[in-house]
């Protein structure tokens, strides 16, 4: 009993330390950029925004331009990268668990190609409007992702026995279809090729507080739902029949989790385009270190995925400054070697 | 007082195809006894226990668990009454043996309720009974097939069910653990008044360890009763298409069943 309590306390301590480290890393990422702003000034600017503490901080030496850069450009960008990374990696984790398939990722049900298709249509039609802080391309991407997912679910549900393989294959088939459709649209609208291409490579360069506020609540609620069902998901992973025999309502839990994960990843994709790799590899990397218990895996995956994407974006915007490297390229470049390292370390132990 | 754990009347079940898998089964599973289900491959043994555990819903017929309509049980209440160990051991995901067995306490827990000293004691007891305590901190996928099997039985024990259903529990075990597990099952039936329903392939073990036997053939009950009544030369020859000899063991006051070919 004692080691049980100890390990739980240890874990809570670990999550706390890890969160602190994440915050420090994100503050350091705010210092990255063309204008050199020292960390001390950044701390002052942030401190000035916090009640009570702001009484004792003197930021009069900092220029207003710096203040704007830090508060309105860099901070929302780092935070949006974190939210997108957290959303993609946690929904990837849920897809892997709900399908009991380690190869699943947030895009497995055709969300990426659906979003890209929606975004492409909006770009070609030249639509321009905003709704709930989302711009037209984001709205198009979200609708595309939602409709694709819904279509995949309805096709698969025609089968009497709820076969997960059927759902996966339907998603893959729809993805191929939509990707071909996008290629066709690109061929017919050659002037839009660059825009479409860069959108599908993923980026958080258009981050703003408006965008942050429009995805943060949905993502947080989604992650809370994942957490709520993490015990059930653990049991489902050890076998569906056995899970039912233990009193888990497998079909219901899985349905809720799949819909929620689709929603969370669609939100992320709609503001950032298609950032590959994060949703597949981050859950695996964390799992290799702490095992498959979703109650522990989930919070650590959220933090790791968020920080990983924030760091990747830091590199993407500073390595070839003022040019930006697509975020999907960076995530694959730094993620792959690290993942291979983890796999090898596991084998060698 | 109801003497039957499960009682089923005219149970019919078929999968998507039209072939009837279970055909008009009428059976009683006595309380506190070990009931063995035997029969050739494809005779409907696993489908039957999936109907008993409500993994599958029958097409027609009546199913009662301790006198109450099985369909009326809430999912968690059913899990408190009946524990099942299926033949599902392959998982790409890693859980420690301790975590797996602790999952047996799931039906007792409210949402977010953490495990208490009692759960811990019950899990430890289940691990010790199945001789898997020494593996508690190892990942399940690092264990051999037989060790995994024992861990899953430990989880069902931690569930503290009144009825324990086992799908070929000894099929991956060496001789030592085959006997150990069957002895443990016997003890559970005697000491804890647990009703056991077990699918077995080995007719010798079925003969020796079961109180009652059900012989299934092509989805129908071919015969049921005590082992002496069910395992006869004629029954086995008709159902398995194999000749057997039943040899009296004077030393141990038992019988040996050997195929004669």
Cis peptide before A322 (omega within 30 of 0): yes
- Subunit contact A238:B100, Cβ cutoff 8 A: yes
> Average pLDDT in the A174-178 region?
87
Q: Which residues of A touch B140 (CB under 8 A)?
A: 238
For residue B117, the model assigns a pLDDT of 86
Percent residues over pLDDT 70 in chain B: 96
pTM of the predicted structure, to 2 decimals: 0.84
- Subunit contact A247:B117, Cβ cutoff 8 A: no
Which residue in this structure is represented by tokens 């995956």? A301
The domain tally of chain B equals: 1
Q: Is the pLDDT of residue A326 over 90?
A: no
Q: What angle do CA B167, B227, B49 make, to 5 degrees?
A: 25
Range of the structural domain that residue B192 is part of: 4-259
For residue A6, the model assigns a pLDDT of 62
> Average pLDDT in the B144-153 region?
85
Q: What is the mean pLDDT of chain B?
A: 86
- Subunit contact B96:A234, Cβ cutoff 8 A: no
Tens-digit pLDDT profile for residues A207-227: 788 888 888 998 999 999 999
- Subunit contact A291:B111, Cβ cutoff 8 A: no
Q: Are A299 and A17 in contact (CB under 8 A)?
A: no
Q: Is the pLDDT of residue A271 over 80?
A: yes
Rounded distance between C-alpha atoms, residue B171 and residue B41, angstroms: 14
For residue B91, the model assigns a pLDDT of 66
CATH number for B181: 3.40.50.300
- Subunit contact B88:A242, Cβ cutoff 8 A: yes
pLDDT band at B5 (very low <50, low <70, confident <90, very high): confident
Question: CA of A260, closest CA in chain B: separation in Å?
Answer: 19
Q: How many CB pairs under 8 A join A and B?
A: 87
Q: Which residues of B touch A8 (CB under 8 A)?
A: 114
Q: Which residues of A touch B53 (CB under 8 A)?
A: 241, 244-245
Nearest CA in chain B to A230: B112
- Subunit contact B93:A292, Cβ cutoff 8 A: yes
For residue B1, the model assigns a pLDDT of 47
> Average pLDDT in the A263-282 region?
85
Nearest CA in chain A to B101: A235
- Subunit contact B96:A291, Cβ cutoff 8 A: yes
Q: Are A315 and A81 in contact (CB under 8 A)?
A: no
- Subunit contact A291:B95, Cβ cutoff 8 A: yes
Higher pLDDT, B7 or A159: B7
- Subunit contact B94:A245, Cβ cutoff 8 A: no
For residue A82, the model assigns a pLDDT of 95
Q: Which residues of A touch B111 (CB under 8 A)?
A: 228
Residue B255: closest CA among B232, B223, B225 = B232
- Subunit contact A291:B139, Cβ cutoff 8 A: yes
Rounded distance between C-alpha atoms, residue A207 and residue A204, angstroms: 6
Q: What is the mean pLDDT of chain A?
A: 83
Rounded distance between C-alpha atoms, residue A79 and residue A204, angstroms: 10
The domain tally of chain A equals: 1
Tens-digit pLDDT profile for residues B52-103: 988 888 888 889 998 888 888 888 889 999 999 887 666 667 888 999 999 9
Name the phi and psi angles at B108, rounded to 5.
-90, -10
Nearest CA in chain B to A296: B95
Facing residue for A237 by CB, picked from B16, B84, B93? B93
Q: Which residues of A touch B86 (CB under 8 A)?
A: 239, 241-242, 245
Q: Is the pLDDT of residue A164 over 90?
A: no
Here the tokens at position B139 are: 């990942």
pLDDT band at A10 (very low <50, low <70, confident <90, very high): confident
Q: How far is CA A89 from the centre of its chain?
A: 5
Q: Which residues of B touch A292 (CB under 8 A)?
A: 93-95
Helices (H), A189-249: 193-201, 209-228, 230-237, 240-245
Higher pLDDT, B19 or B157: B157
Interface test with B, best of A6, A101, A236, A247 (most B CBs within 10 A): A247
Question: CA of B12, closest CA in chain A: separation in Å?
Answer: 18
- Subunit contact B94:A292, Cβ cutoff 8 A: yes
Q: Is the pLDDT of residue B254 over 60?
A: yes
> Average pLDDT in the A2-16 region?
74
Helices (H), chain A: 2-30, 39-48, 64-68, 75-98, 111-125, 136-156, 164-188, 193-201, 209-228, 230-237, 240-245, 250-272, 278-290, 294-318, 327-348
For residue A1, the model assigns a pLDDT of 47
- Subunit contact A237:B89, Cβ cutoff 8 A: no
Positive/negative CA dihedral, A6, A23, A202, A266? positive
Interface test with A, best of B93, B96, B168 (most A CBs within 10 A): B93
Tens-digit pLDDT profile for residues A140-154: 888 888 888 888 888
Chain B residues with CB within 8 Å of chain A CB: 15-16, 50, 53-55, 75-76, 78-80, 82-86, 88-89, 91-96, 99-100, 103-104, 106-107, 111, 114-115, 117, 120, 139-140, 152, 155, 159
- Subunit contact B75:A248, Cβ cutoff 8 A: yes
- Subunit contact B79:A293, Cβ cutoff 8 A: no
For residue B89, the model assigns a pLDDT of 62
- Subunit contact B88:A97, Cβ cutoff 8 A: no
pLDDT band at A188 (very low <50, low <70, confident <90, very high): confident
Range of the structural domain that residue A107 is part of: 2-348
Question: CA of A300, closest CA in chain B: separation in Å?
Answer: 16
Interface test with B, best of A5, A245, A251 (most B CBs within 10 A): A245
Q: Is the pLDDT of residue A123 over 50?
A: yes
Q: Are A250 and A77 in contact (CB under 8 A)?
A: no
Q: Is the pLDDT of residue B189 over 50?
A: yes
Least confident of A200-204, A308-312, B74-78: A200-204
CATH number for A216: 1.10.3470.10
Rounded distance between C-alpha atoms, residue B246 and residue B260, angstroms: 10
- Subunit contact B92:A242, Cβ cutoff 8 A: no
Here the tokens at position A52 are: 């009570």
Q: Is the pLDDT of residue A347 over 90?
A: no
Least confident of A155-159, A270-274, A332-336: A155-159
- Subunit contact A247:B89, Cβ cutoff 8 A: no
């Amino acid at each position: 009993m004692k080691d049980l309590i100890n390990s739980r306390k240890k874990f809570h301590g670990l999550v706390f330390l890890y969160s602190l480290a994440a915050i420090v890393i994100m503050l350091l990422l705010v210092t990255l950029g063309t204008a050199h702003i020292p960390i001390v000034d950044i701390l002052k600017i942030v401190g000035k925004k916090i009640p009570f503490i702001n009484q004792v901080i003197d930021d009069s030496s900092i220029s207003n331009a710096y203040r704007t850069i830090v508060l309105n450009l860099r901070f929302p960008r780092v935070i949006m990268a974190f939210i997108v990374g957290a959303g993609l990696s946690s929904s990837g984790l849920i897809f892997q668990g709900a399908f009991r398939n380690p190869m699943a990722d947030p895009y497995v049900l055709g969300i990426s190609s659906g979003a890209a298709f929606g975004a492409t249509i909006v770009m070609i039609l030249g639509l321009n409007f905003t709704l709930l802080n989302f711009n037209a391309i984001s709205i198009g991407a979200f609708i595309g992702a939602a409709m694709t997912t819904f279509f995949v679910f309805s096709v698969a549900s025609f089968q009497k026995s709820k076969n997960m393989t059927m759902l996966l294959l339907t998603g893959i088939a729809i993805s191929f279809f939509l990707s071909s459709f996008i290629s066709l649209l690109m061929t017919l609208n050659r002037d839009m090729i660059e825009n479409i291409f860069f959108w599908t490579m993923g980026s958080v360069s258009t981050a703003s507080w408006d965008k942050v506020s429009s995805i943060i609540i949905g993502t947080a609620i989604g992650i809370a739902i994942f957490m709520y069902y993490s015990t059930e998901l653990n049991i489902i992973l050890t076998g569906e029949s056995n899970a039912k025999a233990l009193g888990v309502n497998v079909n219901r839990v899985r349905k809720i989790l799949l819909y929620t994960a689709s929603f969370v990843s669609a939100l992320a994709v709609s503001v950032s385009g298609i950032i590959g790799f994060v949703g597949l590899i981050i859950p695996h990397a964390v799992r290799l270190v702490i095992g498959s218990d979703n109650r522990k895996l989930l919070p650590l995956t959220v933090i790791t995925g968020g920080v990983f994407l924030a760091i990747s974006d830091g590199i993407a915007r500073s390595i070839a400054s003022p040019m930006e490297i697509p975020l999907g390229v960076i995530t694959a470049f730094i993620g792959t070697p690290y993942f291979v390292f983890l796999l090898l370390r596991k084998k060698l132990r | 007082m109801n003497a039957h754990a499960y009682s089923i009347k005219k149970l019919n079940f078929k999968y998507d195809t039209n072939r009837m898998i279970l055909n008009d089964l009428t059976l009683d599973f006595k309380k506190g006894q070990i009931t063995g289900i035997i029969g050739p491959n494809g005779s409907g043994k696993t489908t039957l226990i999936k109907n008993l555990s409500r993994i599958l819903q029958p097409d027609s017929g009546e199913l009662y668990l301790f006198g109450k309509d099985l369909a009326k049980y809430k999912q968690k209440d059913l899990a408190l009454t009946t524990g099942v160990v299926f033949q599902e051991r392959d998982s790409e995901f890693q859980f420690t043996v301790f975590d797996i067995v602790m999952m047996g306490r799931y039906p007792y827990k409210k949402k977010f309720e953490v495990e208490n000293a009692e759960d811990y004691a019950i899990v430890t007891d289940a691990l010790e009974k199945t001789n898997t305590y020494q593996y508690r901190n190892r990942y399940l996928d690092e264990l051999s097939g037989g060790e995994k099997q024992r861990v899953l039985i430990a989880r069902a024990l931690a569930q503290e069910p009144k009825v324990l259903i086992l799908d070929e529990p000894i099929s991956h075990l060496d001789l030592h653990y085959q006997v150990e597990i069957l002895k443990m099952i016997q003890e559970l039936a005697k000491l804890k008044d647990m009703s056991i329903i077990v699918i077995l392939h080995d007719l010798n073990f079925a003969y020796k360890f079961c109180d009652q036997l059900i012989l299934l053939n092509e989805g129908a009950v071919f015969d049921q009763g005590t082992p002496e009544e069910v395992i006869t030369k004629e029954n086995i020859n008709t159902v398995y298409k194999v000749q057997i000899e039943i040899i009296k063991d004077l030393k141990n006051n038992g019988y040996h069943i050997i195929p004669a070919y």
